[in-house]
Amino acid sequence: MSAVNTQMEITHMRREIEEIPEATARLLDGSAAVLTEAGRGIRERDPHFIVTVARGSSDHAATFMKYAVELTAGLAVASIGPSIASIYGAKLKLAGSACLAISQSGKSPDIVAMAQAARAGGALTVAITNTADSPLARASDYAIDILAGPERSVAATKTFVNSAVAGLALMAHSTGDDKLLAALVRLPEQFRKAIACDWMALAGALETPKSLFILGRGPSAAIANEAALKFKETCAMHAEAYSAAEVMHGPLALVGPDFPVLALAARDASEPSVAEAADSLAAKGAAVFVTSDTAKSAQHLPHVATGHPLTDPLALIVSFYGFVEAFARHRGLDPDTPPNLRKVTETI
């Protein structure tokens, strides 16, 4: 591994994390008209179900939206594998649905092919992308530019957050959820506070172990998936995301003394169960850190309570991004250039 001074010039990743509040404000202002229009289009279509198309971090944003839509709009959401269209050429019957396709670049051939197939199958298609004039945007009924600005670090941060915020805004406009819209307006300031949360207390528990469990439940389960990916990308260590319920089954066999666990608890109906799982694992000797003040045995991490159950998990991932960038440098790594990875991967 090539050593990187922990006092090195600010990384692209750190700079982009610090741009998240501004990028979110820019999205909510600059794309307000198309978010309103697309939300109205979905409301008029009155879909019976929603499908999503995405990969990587964008798929984690799609999973986050799955929970958000199912919890608040009462619609079932299913993820479609892009290869269904690009490799297998299958034709899906999607009349009466809406399709949400998420891609930072908007040009991965398999994502574009599936969006096109969804539209041909009768779905109303909405693209969420950081590239306004992209093949995915052109293939969709509505194209939402997340306006995150250029992102140079391989690890997506501000584009993930803006994709999730765009999805929430789209849903709020389609369902007339004024409370959620108001909560989104407050996010830039709350993200600034989340960036300031110091999670380096985790570092000591990660010096020797070869793996990390990251837990969540409901919307925060999607955030746990995103956190595990970023940890692997930037820190050259293994991490696995689990539901706080599922971890108490088979994965529990791996948990022993000092095994590191990060439990991402949001201020929603799942918080008691996540805190309970954290305490249960701590009782087995694991080194457990949790974003909840209700846990009794696990170590508490500072966190920002946003005042809305759907925006709370997004503040958690912003705090985690700050930690993972700092921990990568602590390990002598450059978080901007993970080995074997590049910024845009175009899959077929």
CA distance 22 to 149: 10
For position 77, what pLDDT does the model report? 98
Domain check: are 172 and 202 in the same one? no
Question: pLDDT below 50 — which residues of the chain?
Answer: 1-7
Check whether residue 250 and residue 315 sit in a common domain: yes
* Domain final position from 143, 176, 209: 176
For residues 164 and 260, state if they share a domain. Answer: no
Q: Which of 176, 211, 240 is the endpoint of a domain? A: 176
pLDDT reported for residue 208? 84
Same domain, residue pair 34 and 148: yes
The single-letter code of the amino acid at 283 is A
252's tokens: 């529990």
pLDDT at 88: 96
pLDDT tens column, 68-118: 999 999 999 999 999 999 999 999 999 999 999 999 999 999 999 999 999
CATH number where 158 lies: 3.40.50.10490
36 and 71 inside one domain: yes
pLDDT at 255: 77
Does residue 143 form part of some domain?
yes
The verdict on 49 and 161 lying in the same domain is yes
Strands 124-129 and 260-263: unpaired
Q: Are 230 and 324 in contact (CB under 8 A)?
A: yes
Q: Do 78 and 136 share a structural domain?
A: yes
Are 133 and 33 in a shared domain? yes
User: 261 lies in which domain range?
Assistant: 198-331
pLDDT reported for residue 209: 78
**Count of structural domains within the chain:** 2
3-class secondary structure for the chain? CCCCCCCCCCCHHHHHHHCHHHHHHHHHHHCHHHHHHHHHHHHHHCCCEEEEECCHHHHHHHHHHHHHHHHHCCCEEEECCCHHHHCCCCCCCCCCEEEEEEECCCCCHHHHHHHHHHHHCCCEEEEEECCCCCHHHHCCCEEEECCCCCCCCCCCCHHHHHHHHHHHHHHHHHHCCHHHHHHHHCHHHHHHHHHCCCCHHHHHHHCCCCEEEEEECCHHHHHHHHHHHHHHHHHCCEEEEEECCHHHCHHHHHCCCCCEEEECCCCCCCHHHHHHHHHHHHHCCCEEEECCCCCCCCEECCCCCCCCCCCHHHHHHHHHHHHHHHHHHHCCCCCCCCCCCCCCCCCC
pLDDT attached to residue 345: 58
Only one residue has tokens 């919890």, namely: 71
Kindly state whether residues 26 and 172 are assigned to the same domain. Answer: yes
